[in-house]
Chain A
């Protein structure tokens, strides 16, 4: 600990970029002793009682747990809903049975997934009764209703038999979900993707929803179940006696209180806190961060401290900082269908010239995570198999600060004998305006200019960047500098499949930004989708990661760590899967 601290102080005193590289590499190869890193095993004991304030800049995406998809929203749903499987604080890879009693049983052909659930988990008032398998079935069915419109149900549960008929309105239930008795639920799939389904059951979509109570809300358009929801977890959103939420003011606050029907004996959670207030609308993250650091009983919700505040924390009170891998990465995507990036060697040249450390500096420097050298992030299955921190071994990703000479070699191979781009067209590059994202896109543009490219950088709002430009193949954007991906659950398929599988290129909301469509990669993914068993899946997808990296479709530049901060009197516990504070284990000192 001490040597790293001296190193950081020296950095600040000397402000020499040389030591940045030295310290950067030492901290990235030794994450467990880095300043502010979350220990491998956190202390999970605490004092009961008290109120925690979660300071957030914006709202949850959906208050309805069946539609929720943001990491920040998961912070709330993991405290109020008991999905079939959940992640404890310290293990981001292996989910533990939550509503379920044991690990899911996946048949060897991958077409059947059987889960047994507990019989003594009760809903909060006004429903009050114990949850059954029928409630889990309804939870998954309603995710496919147009009034709920869950964004990932189709991707992970779309292979269940009978989903199409249900969505078309020809059936009133999904025939492929069986509930032979009140504590057993069976998923019958028409493809062998049972391994993926088993992993996806760790998302809040599988938390039980009582049909007799919720159906009337789901009939409205959009569904109003969200503001009338019931809970199975240790906490619930404050509600009146009829179940209508009184503790939710959109964009302003969410108040969590204890769920009176929660039985501590049935749960791995501790639930020390009595109440939790989520305060939203704190746009100015610098001010909000300072408030948390100097205040009482506060933690951050959906933002990290900006670099100047980060610097202050590291120098004065590093124990208020908790850095944990986000489970994702950031990259700059190159459109492989448009010239000049339809040429593999030109792409390799761009990857070779990119100063990825400069990109990382825009987010706060080496403290925020290691330079990414392939696509599966750390603390995920398949990471080590794909080469770990050092990468897959390709030369064009060997130099974090970029290597102009190597880049020029690749340009020559790509048909530009001078080593520089000689074309006349301006390349459309669309980034997000404002904040660190704008800085990253400006740095990215500067990297391209080193090889003679002429990027036409357009900065628009983030929503616009996604829905009108980068996610729309027709918009013909050549470079998207502000993209990245976060895992959905602890399976490497969730990182690589939506983003690099040729069959996932769609007209609207496309996440395969490079529009990579390589037959060998696609078929490898098709095979890997139906592999059963964690270690086999990790190996298969790691091999695919190497294949993708060799295609150079994007410049991975950081496997970022999420920076979380707390007030001094908060005994904070981080949920490493969700990379934010775990409300069911955090307590006050």
Chain B
């Protein structure tokens, strides 16, 4: 088991290296803006631009630049400075992480509860009106673009412009440490909007798996033995039906922690997603590197946890 974990950890480290290298290559080779020219202001002379370029280390060959970046990262946990305003990238990222985590965690809780709940209900009452209605709604849920849903939600419920002004609108995010109540109310709409497509997907997935499982022989046996329906469903049925959900949940959460760009854009939440988007737009390589690495880190570690969880459950996996 330990050997398996070690092997996977080694691969994780390699993956992160690969991600940082590829990101560097993409944005170094194809930069969409010139950071030295950006910082040099409106009327610089070529000497000024050249000195800024030298100061930022941009006149070095690419492998030197990459080597310097990795050295700083590994030995000093230093992500460099933003080309835009010279702010340390680490500070930028960590100051925006809480917002993204707030958004992801709350939405995750919501979609798990709703998705699993609806999935179970639909599975134990197959082909009833309830089942059809909920699966129909789920279909709509996975078909609607999340940013559009966000706009519709704002149009309907936002306190400043909505038809039924009951919830704080866009740009109302407040950190938890400042004002817990406002933090909570400002996130209600984003949580709901973000959770919709996931809840829909999970409910469909669970319903399908659970229905299949509930038709297996051993379930029939359990029922015949006289176990209550509740026990049958929860202790026996759900147990096997839930495993793919766990996998997917881990992966989804991993991706979301790296920043939900679309939701953050619509609701103006100052998270990692918006930071990564604006850094790409401004060709701010150090910030791009930092946010992409962070996103990859979450994804890769989520994968790792899920894999370890499976290896724990199923010893055969460890020897693959």
Interface residues of A (CB under 8 A from B): 59-62, 69, 146-147, 149-152, 154-155, 158, 167, 221-222, 249-252, 281-284, 287-288, 290-291, 294, 460-461, 463-464, 466-468, 471, 498, 504, 506-509, 511
Add 9 more A-B contacts to A151-B41, A461-B33 (CB < 8 A): A146-B52, A149-B52, A283-B268, A287-B268, A463-B282, A463-B283, A464-B32, A466-B37, A508-B37
Q: Are B170 and A151 in touch, CB under 8 angstroms?
A: no
Query: B97 on the interface (CB 8 Å rule)?
Result: no
Q: Are A467 and B43 in touch, CB under 8 angstroms?
A: no
Quote the shortest CB–CB distance from B280 to chain A (angstroms).
9
Q: Are A290 and B160 in touch, CB under 8 angstroms?
A: yes
CA A460 to CA B34, docked complex, whole Å: 13
Complex interface residues of chain B between 154 and 181 (CB less than 8 A to chain A)? 160-161, 169-171
Q: Are B171 and A152 in touch, CB under 8 angstroms?
A: no
Contact of A508 among B35, B49, B170, B268 (CB under 8 A): B49
| Given A152-B42, A282-B171, A464-B33, residue A509 in contact with residue B49 (CB < 8 A) | yes
Query: B274 on the interface (CB 8 Å rule)?
Result: yes
Query: B22 on the interface (CB 8 Å rule)?
Result: no
Q: Residue of B at shortest CB range from A433? A: B281
Q: Are B48 and A461 in touch, CB under 8 angstroms?
A: no
CA A471 to CA B43, docked complex, whole Å: 11
Q: Are A281 and B270 in touch, CB under 8 angstroms?
A: yes
Q: Are A287 and B169 in touch, CB under 8 angstroms?
A: yes
Q: Residue of B at shortest CB range from A63? A: B85
CA A131 to CA B39, docked complex, whole Å: 29
Measured between beta carbons, the chain A residues less than 8 angstroms from B39 are: 149
Q: Mark B30-68, 1 if CB is under 8 A from A, else 0.
A: 001111011111111111110110110000000000000
CA A281 to CA B49, docked complex, whole Å: 28
7 smallest A-B Cβ distances: which pairs? A151-B41, A463-B33, A250-B87, A467-B34, A467-B37, A287-B171, A146-B51
Q: Are B87 and A467 in touch, CB under 8 angstroms?
A: no
* Interface of chain A: mostly helix, strand, loop or mixed: loop
Q: Are A155 and B95 in touch, CB under 8 angstroms?
A: no
Q: Are B268 and A282 in touch, CB under 8 angstroms?
A: yes
Q: Are A61 and B43 in touch, CB under 8 angstroms?
A: no
Measured between beta carbons, the chain B residues less than 8 angstroms from A283 are: 268, 274
Query: B86 on the interface (CB 8 Å rule)?
Result: yes
Quote the shortest CB–CB distance from B155 to chain A (angstroms).
13
CA A151 to CA B38, docked complex, whole Å: 10
CA A494 to CA B308, docked complex, whole Å: 65
Query: B92 on the interface (CB 8 Å rule)?
Result: yes
- Most chain A CB within 10 A, of B43, B47, B55, is at B43
| Given A251-B85, A464-B33, A508-B34, residue A151 in contact with residue B268 (CB < 8 A) | no
Q: Are B86 and A69 in touch, CB under 8 angstroms?
A: no
Q: Are A152 and B32 in touch, CB under 8 angstroms?
A: no
Q: Are A250 and B37 in touch, CB under 8 angstroms?
A: no
Q: Residue of B at shortest CB range from A221? A: B55
Contact of B44 among A147, A154, A252, A466 (CB under 8 A): A154
Q: Are B42 and A61 in touch, CB under 8 angstroms?
A: no
Quote the shortest CB–CB distance from A410 to chain B (angstroms).
33
Q: Mark B123-160, 1 if CB is under 8 A from A, else 0.
A: 00000000000000000000000000000000000001
Measured between beta carbons, the chain A residues less than 8 angstroms from B40 are: 149, 151, 508-509
| Given A287-B268, A498-B43, residue A62 in contact with residue B85 (CB < 8 A) | yes
Q: Residue of A at shortest CB range from B53? A: A508
Q: Can you report 14 A-B residue pairs in the complex whose CB atoms are below 8 A from each other? A: A59-B85, A146-B52, A151-B41, A155-B43, A283-B268, A283-B274, A284-B171, A287-B268, A460-B32, A461-B281, A463-B281, A464-B283, A509-B44, A511-B43
- The A-B contact count (CB < 8 A) is 117
CA A498 to CA B44, docked complex, whole Å: 10
CA A587 to CA B41, docked complex, whole Å: 33
Q: Are B268 and A509 in touch, CB under 8 angstroms?
A: no
Quote the shortest CB–CB distance from B277 to chain A (angstroms).
10
CA A283 to CA B269, docked complex, whole Å: 10
Measured between beta carbons, the chain A residues less than 8 angstroms from B171 are: 282, 284, 287-288, 291
Q: Residue of A at shortest CB range from B268? A: A284
CA A150 to CA B42, docked complex, whole Å: 10
Q: Are A154 and B95 in touch, CB under 8 angstroms?
A: no
Measured between beta carbons, the chain A residues less than 8 angstroms from B44 are: 151, 154, 508-509
Q: Residue of A at shortest CB range from B171? A: A287
Measured between beta carbons, the chain A residues less than 8 angstroms from B92 are: 250-251
Q: Are B37 and A146 in touch, CB under 8 angstroms?
A: no
CA A59 to CA B46, docked complex, whole Å: 26
Q: Residue of A at shortest CB range from B161? A: A290
Q: Residue of B at shortest CB range from A252? A: B95
Measured between beta carbons, the chain B residues less than 8 angstroms from A291 are: 160, 171
CA A154 to CA B40, docked complex, whole Å: 11
Q: Residue of A at shortest CB range from B264? A: A283
CA A544 to CA B111, docked complex, whole Å: 67
Q: Are B37 and A284 in touch, CB under 8 angstroms?
A: no
Q: Residue of A at shortest CB range from B83? A: A463
Q: Are B87 and A251 in touch, CB under 8 angstroms?
A: yes
Q: Residue of B at shortest CB range from A497? A: B43
Q: Are A461 and B283 in touch, CB under 8 angstroms?
A: yes
Quote the shortest CB–CB distance from A120 to chain B (angstroms).
33
CA A158 to CA B160, docked complex, whole Å: 52
Contact of B37 among A147, A287, A461, A509 (CB under 8 A): A509
CA A214 to CA B284, docked complex, whole Å: 28
Q: Are A151 and B282 in touch, CB under 8 angstroms?
A: no
Q: Residue of A at shortest CB range from B37? A: A467
Measured between beta carbons, the chain A residues less than 8 angstroms from B170 are: 284, 287
Contact of B48 among A60, A151, A464 (CB under 8 A): A151
CA A283 to CA B43, docked complex, whole Å: 27
Contact of A511 among B42, B268, B274 (CB under 8 A): B42
Measured between beta carbons, the chain B residues less than 8 angstroms from A155 are: 43
Q: Are A506 and B45 in touch, CB under 8 angstroms?
A: yes
Quote the shortest CB–CB distance from B10 to chain A (angstroms).
37
Q: Are B45 and A154 in touch, CB under 8 angstroms?
A: yes
Contact of A151 among B32, B33, B43, B160 (CB under 8 A): B43
CA A274 to CA B283, docked complex, whole Å: 39
Q: Residue of B at shortest CB range from A291? A: B171
Measured between beta carbons, the chain B residues less than 8 angstroms from A147 are: 55
Q: Are B41 and A152 in touch, CB under 8 angstroms?
A: yes
Quote the shortest CB–CB distance from A207 to chain B (angstroms).
18
Measured between beta carbons, the chain B residues less than 8 angstroms from A154 are: 43-45, 48
CA A144 to CA B107, docked complex, whole Å: 51
Measured between beta carbons, the chain A residues less than 8 angstroms from B46 are: 506-508
Quote the shortest CB–CB distance from B299 to chain A (angstroms).
25
Q: Are B86 and A222 in touch, CB under 8 angstroms?
A: yes
Measured between beta carbons, the chain A residues less than 8 angstroms from B55 are: 146-147, 149, 221-222
Q: Are B85 and A250 in touch, CB under 8 angstroms?
A: yes
Quote the shortest CB–CB distance from A134 to chain B (angstroms).
25
Quote the shortest CB–CB distance from B142 to chain A (angstroms).
27
Contact of A287 among B45, B95, B160, B274 (CB under 8 A): B160
CA A149 to CA B38, docked complex, whole Å: 12
Q: Residue of B at shortest CB range from A461? A: B281
CA A226 to CA B63, docked complex, whole Å: 32
| Given A222-B55, A463-B282, residue A149 in contact with residue B33 (CB < 8 A) | no
CA A60 to CA B87, docked complex, whole Å: 12
CA A288 to CA B283, docked complex, whole Å: 26
